[in-house]
Amino acid sequence: MHYWSANHEQVLQDLNSNENGLTETEVSQRLQKYGKNILKKEKVKSPLKIFLLQFKSFLVLLLIAASIISYFIGNALDTLIILAIVVFNAIVGFVQEFKAEKAIEMLKKMTVLRTVVIRYRRKIEIDAENLVPGDIVVLEEGSKVPADCRIISQENLETDESSLTGESHPVSKNTEIYEDNTIIADRKNSLFAGTSVVRGRCKAVVVNTGMQTELGKIAKQIQVESPPTPLQQYLDDFGKKVIVATLIAVGVIFAINYFFEAKDLVDTFLTSVSLAVAAVPEGLPAIVTLTSAVGVKRMIARKTLIRRLSAIEALGSTTVIATDKTGTLTENKMTVLDVYSSEKISDIKECKDEMLFRIGLLCNNAELDSGDPTERALVISAKEFGLDIDEERKFYSRIKEIPFESAKKRMTVICKKEGKYFSFMKGAPDIIINFCDRIQIDGKIINITEENRKKIIEAVDKMASQALRVLGFAYKEGEKNPEQDLIFVGLQGIMDPDRPEVKYAIRKCKEAGIRVIMITGDHTLTAKAIAEKIEMNVNGVMTGKELNQMDDATFDQAVSKINIFARIEPSHKLKIVQKLREKGEIVAVTGDGVNDAPALKNSNIGVAMGIRGTDVAKEASDIIITDDNFATIVSAVEEGRRIFSNIRKFVDYLLTNNFGEVLLVLVASLLFLPLPVTAIQLLWINFLTDGFPALALGLDPAQKNIMIGKRKNRKIIDKKMVIGITQTGILMAIGLLYLFQSNLNDGLVKAQTIAFTGLALFQFIRLHVIESESKMKIWSNKYLLLAIVASVLLQLSVLYTPLSIYFNTIQLGLIDWQNILIVLFILGTLNYILSKITSRLTAE
């Protein structure tokens, strides 16, 4: 038996309780059986364990191995650089993950409160953590619901469940019985931990506490690690491929030089190991961290707070955004959008019927900034019309109130002004019409006809089809029989309006090939109306109840096609997100409520709202939109794409240089030539290419067309890049071998110095080609220009200063420079032409 599908007497009997409350002995026994009414969390990882887990990446382990090798071959500088990069990344990751451990703690705080309970036939106030199943609680307006409860009795009870179900309107409660398969949002006889009472009062029996509540189930669902981002997965695989390829190439070079050419064992080993170290892209984690950190700084200015560095890159790869409705696509502020008076539908400014707004203001217990959201909307509409709220309520002093009841669906007040009495009524239009025998049209009062009633019903239907919550308004002079012979005045249609900027954001998502899905606990009509207003691709609406009745195959098809899911429970939202990820989508989830936390945690990228967002949602997220503006996510996507693009440039630049170096030494070995560069020279080149220029690439601005086209399954290294790296590496090897061999007659040291210098300078020619492929100019990035200048000066320092002794170089003359520059110009021109041909052949 479910507690919502039985009457309260059966529930009390099943819990071995009664309306007089539990005895002290029973409470003690149940506390031992069920535990305290708190949310437990899994065993927390120690700070040391969290820190050590930052080193589990294969690429990080590879870099540590490279640093150890560098140390033993006498290159302490390279060792320090690599270890600094690794430790820096570990510290950043540690800080972010340590913060995420607070998510369950936030959930736990939500249930630490005081509540009124009936025990041993008397009312007492206790800490909510001491509640047990079977306890009888008494709640009233403003109370936080301390546990999941079944209502025993209630008076005008309404609760705010938006943080749990996404329902934007207060929910009217009752004591009726519902079917077993009724979803949470429709269990009107139940109260849920973490929600609050906004109107009325009730007595209820506690049915579930702690981790057994709906809130507790959410706590269990977010006790999982966030899935790795696409880039994190890629870097791990990439590191494994790099080490395999490098070991094969280095092994061949070592074998040729030692076994076939009988070169010195130590020199051959040092060169081979140096080449291996040079081939390891130790700058890759640094560039990811740097570009992400710069992205964080930029996004703060765009009102976006990044909690996990890798998250901003993942957002750039997003293919689906699963968003909630209330407070994200809408303003989460009930507003009167349309009114009906004198048999015309119009907006507030066009309406001329003052009485319509006076009734809404006076038959009302809310203030401008407090009270029931629907009633507040009526107060605001009266003010927008031009009524003075304080003056109206002062002159029309209330004498009596007949409060709203869910069964009657109306509220009536009697007011007095200057000795005259007035009755004002508001409520469901079909109910209000039945109490009216007259109607006010253009200021004139006439007897109401069937034609008038028909027009009113048509207006109600039209407004309701736009997902407006429609209320009717009527009045009469006199205090006798206040609910008879009234004058019908009109209707007010209330709705949580869409944010005006969201339509533009949706359009940008379409251009970027990003599918937007609405997942909400609100009603289907409301969800569909909002979706149509913001120009979403609707493709049908599906409810949580329908999802419950689907088999896996049907559910799979629904997730692929349907873009609006309404009346959804937290478990449904999580299931939808997981299914999308199974289908290979990169899923971003936006949300602000407790109900959004599991999906935020289990998505590729969780985006929480900063203003309306609960602490739970924020702590479960990767990104927080500080202005609660869905449109801000477009800026975040653009920044993510910029980072992804810059990472591709860096990888292209780095791998081209590394491949060229390996190919240069390999071809020289196959031709039985002396090594064109020494071990220390290889490590120096590695320092230059992985240094300032490569890092500066990460600061490139975004391309103009970066938000056009889908990014699903976009790889960092694609076919075009592989071809570019291959042809460039071959050009490098041929050109530099030519320089090396043509100068061998002047001595090995000079030939190596020329090849070494040519290798260093070619890196910067490659930079120009890479930038031109993305339609960027080198001078558009001042940091890149400064990095090139710094690198050139550093290279000159090992030729023309005492440092040359350590690098085994000599000073080059003008003729030498002339020869180097001519060869580099030819190589650069050929590389540019080939890159253009490759771009055309591989164009999507």
* Domain end call among 461, 495, 529: 495
Instruction: Copy the structure tokens of residue 92.
Output: 């950043």
SS3 call for 678 = coil
SS3 call for 531 = helix
pLDDT attached to residue 403: 85
Q: Are residues 733 and 796 in the same domain?
A: yes
Q: What total of structural domains would you count in the chain?
A: 4
The string of DSSP letters for 289-310 reads: HHHHHHHHHHHHHTTEEESSHH
- Mean pLDDT, range 557-577, rounded to an integer: 88
pLDDT attached to residue 444: 94
Cα separation, 315 vs 317, whole angstroms: 5
Q: Which of 253-262, 379-388, 511-520 has the highest mean pLDDT?
A: 379-388
Which alpha helices (H) appear in 386-449, and where do they start and end?
A: 389-395, 429-434
Domain annotation covers residue 217: no
Cβ neighbours, 10 Å, residue 287: 26
Name the band, by pLDDT with cuts 50, 70 and 90, for residue 103.
very low
Structure confidence by residue, pLDDT tens digits, 274-310: 566 556 665 566 566 666 667 777 777 777 777 766 6
CATH at 750: 1.20.1110.10
Comparison of pLDDT for 143 and 415, the residue scoring more: 415
- 746 flagged as catalytic: no
pLDDT attached to residue 60: 61
- Mean pLDDT, range 392-409, rounded to an integer: 87
Structure confidence by residue, pLDDT tens digits, 615-641: 667 777 888 887 777 778 777 888 778
Q: Which residues lie across from 400 on neighbouring strands?
A: 414
pLDDT attached to residue 290: 63
Task: Name the residue among 175, 174, 221, 214 with its Cα closest to residue 193.
Answer: 214
Task: Name the residue among 670, 649, 657 with its Cα closest to residue 718.
Answer: 649
Query: In this model, does residue 53 exceed pLDDT 80?
Result: no
| Per-residue buried b or exposed e for 506-526, using 16+ beta carbons within 10 Å of the residue's own CB | bebbeebebbbbbbbbbbbeb
SS3 call for 201 = strand
Q: How far is CA 727 from CA 261, 657, 722, 734, 831, in A?
A: 28, 12, 9, 11, 8
Name the band, by pLDDT with cuts 50, 70 and 90, for residue 151.
very high
Q: Are residues 471 and 559 in the same domain?
A: no
| Per-residue buried b or exposed e for 465-497, using 16+ beta carbons within 10 Å of the residue's own CB | ebbbbbbbbbbbeeeeebeeebbbbbbbbbbbb
Cα separation, 675 vs 267, whole angstroms: 10
Q: Are residues 538 and 409 in the same domain?
A: no
For the chain, how big is the Rg over CA atoms in Å? 35
SS3 call for 156 = strand
Write down the catalytic residue from 78, 186, 324, 622.
324
Structure confidence by residue, pLDDT tens digits, 174-222: 999 999 888 888 899 999 998 888 888 899 999 999 889 988 887 776 6
190 within 8 A of 175, measured Cβ to Cβ = no
pLDDT attached to residue 414: 95
Q: How far is CA 562 from CA 185, 322, 510, 633, 790, in A?
A: 21, 12, 16, 22, 55
- Mean pLDDT, range 394-407, rounded to an integer: 86
Cα separation, 525 vs 531, whole angstroms: 10
pLDDT attached to residue 110: 42
Task: Name the residue among 600, 730, 622, 748 with its Cα closest to residue 678.
Answer: 748
768 within 8 A of 788, measured Cβ to Cβ = no
Helices 748-773 and 632-670, packing angle to 10 deg = 150
Cα separation, 684 vs 806, whole angstroms: 11
Q: Are residues 259 and 168 in the same domain?
A: no
In this structure, the chain runs to a length of 844
354 within 8 A of 382, measured Cβ to Cβ = no
Count of CA atoms in the C-beta half-sphere (13 A) of 319: 14
The string of DSSP letters for 148-212 reads: EEEEEEEEEEEEE-HHHH---SPEE-------TT--GGG-TTEE-TT-EEEEEEEEEEEEE-GGG
Query: In this model, does residue 515 exceed pLDDT 70?
Result: yes
- Mean pLDDT, range 134-159, rounded to an integer: 91
Domain annotation covers residue 74: no
Domain annotation covers residue 611: yes
Comparison of pLDDT for 451 and 683, the residue scoring more: 451
Q: Are residues 657 and 793 in the same domain?
A: yes
* Domain end call among 567, 597, 628: 628
* Domain end call among 181, 210, 239: 210
CATH at 569: 3.40.50.1000
390 burial via Cβ count (<10 Å: 0-12, 13-18, 19+): exposed
209 within 8 A of 31, measured Cβ to Cβ = no
Main-chain dihedrals φ then ψ at residue 405, nearest 5 degrees = -135, 140
SS3 call for 191 = strand
- Mean pLDDT, range 222-226, rounded to an integer: 57
Structure confidence by residue, pLDDT tens digits, 74-89: 667 656 755 665 676 5
Q: Which amino acid is at 563?
A: N
Q: Are residues 641 and 750 in the same domain?
A: yes
Query: In this model, does residue 100 exceed pLDDT 60?
Result: no
Q: Are residues 526 and 555 in the same domain?
A: yes
Task: Name the residue among 768, 773, 741 with its Cα closest to residue 755.
Answer: 741
Main-chain dihedrals φ then ψ at residue 306, nearest 5 degrees = -95, 120
pLDDT attached to residue 784: 85
Domain annotation covers residue 176: yes
Comparison of pLDDT for 211 and 807, the residue scoring more: 211
Q: How far is CA 377 from the centre of its chain?
A: 30
Cα separation, 103 vs 116, whole angstroms: 28
Domain annotation covers residue 648: yes
Name the band, by pLDDT with cuts 50, 70 and 90, for residue 569.
confident
Percentage of the chain beyond pLDDT 70 is 81
Cα separation, 627 vs 765, whole angstroms: 44
Q: Are residues 198 and 294 in the same domain?
A: no
Name the band, by pLDDT with cuts 50, 70 and 90, for residue 475.
very high
Cα separation, 328 vs 608, whole angstroms: 9
Instruction: Copy the structure tokens of residue 198.
Output: 């906004």
Structure confidence by residue, pLDDT tens digits, 107-139: 344 434 789 999 988 889 898 889 999 999 999
- Mean pLDDT, range 383-399, rounded to an integer: 94
pLDDT attached to residue 38: 84
- Mean pLDDT, range 66-73, rounded to an integer: 68
Cβ neighbours, 10 Å, residue 35: 15
Q: Are residues 311 and 282 in the same domain?
A: no
Query: In this model, does residue 227 exceed pLDDT 70?
Result: no
Domain annotation covers residue 99: no
Task: Name the residue among 792, 638, 797 with its Cα closest to residue 704.
Answer: 638
pLDDT attached to residue 721: 84
pLDDT attached to residue 782: 84
Task: Of 472-486, 624-638, 795-809, give the lowest mean pLDDT range.
Answer: 624-638
- Mean pLDDT, range 508-537, rounded to an integer: 87
Instruction: Copy the structure tokens of residue 498.
Output: 């869409």
Count of CA atoms in the C-beta half-sphere (13 A) of 595: 27
Instruction: Tell me 447's DSSP state.
Output: E
pLDDT attached to residue 168: 65
672 burial via Cβ count (<10 Å: 0-12, 13-18, 19+): exposed
Main-chain dihedrals φ then ψ at residue 706, nearest 5 degrees = -70, -20
Task: Of 83-97, 613-627, 734-748, 780-794, give the lowest mean pLDDT range.
Answer: 83-97
- Distance between start and end Cα atoms, the chain: 59
Comparison of pLDDT for 488 and 329, the residue scoring more: 488
Cα separation, 162 vs 480, whole angstroms: 40
SS3 call for 613 = coil
Cα separation, 190 vs 185, whole angstroms: 10
Beta-strand relationship, 114-119 and 122-127: antiparallel
Cα separation, 455 vs 468, whole angstroms: 17
Helices 265-279 and 632-670, packing angle to 10 deg = 160
Across the chain, mean pLDDT equals: 82
Q: Are residues 440 and 532 in the same domain?
A: no
Query: In this model, does residue 704 exceed pLDDT 80?
Result: no
Residue 344: give the domain boundaries.
335-495
pLDDT attached to residue 205: 96
- Mean pLDDT, range 383-387, rounded to an integer: 95
pLDDT attached to residue 9: 92
CATH at 17: 2.70.150.10
Instruction: With residue 126 as reference, give the H or E element that holds it.
Output: strand 122-127
Largest CA distance in the chain: 120
Domain annotation covers residue 159: yes
Q: Are residues 33 and 174 in the same domain?
A: yes
Helices 283-301 and 632-670, packing angle to 10 deg = 160
pLDDT attached to residue 228: 57
Structure confidence by residue, pLDDT tens digits, 810-831: 999 999 999 999 999 999 899 8
Comparison of pLDDT for 711 and 328, the residue scoring more: 328
Cα separation, 139 vs 144, whole angstroms: 8
CATH at 427: 3.40.1110.10
Cα separation, 621 vs 230, whole angstroms: 17
Q: How far is CA 285 from CA 86, 239, 245, in A?
A: 8, 11, 19
Domain annotation covers residue 218: no
pLDDT attached to residue 476: 95
Q: What is the reported pTM?
A: 0.64
Task: Of 80-89, 214-223, 540-549, 793-802, give the lowest mean pLDDT range.
Answer: 80-89
Q: Are residues 372 and 473 in the same domain?
A: yes
SS3 call for 445 = strand
Beta-strand relationship, 436-441 and 196-208: unpaired
Name the band, by pLDDT with cuts 50, 70 and 90, for residue 702.
confident
- Mean pLDDT, range 218-247, rounded to an integer: 65
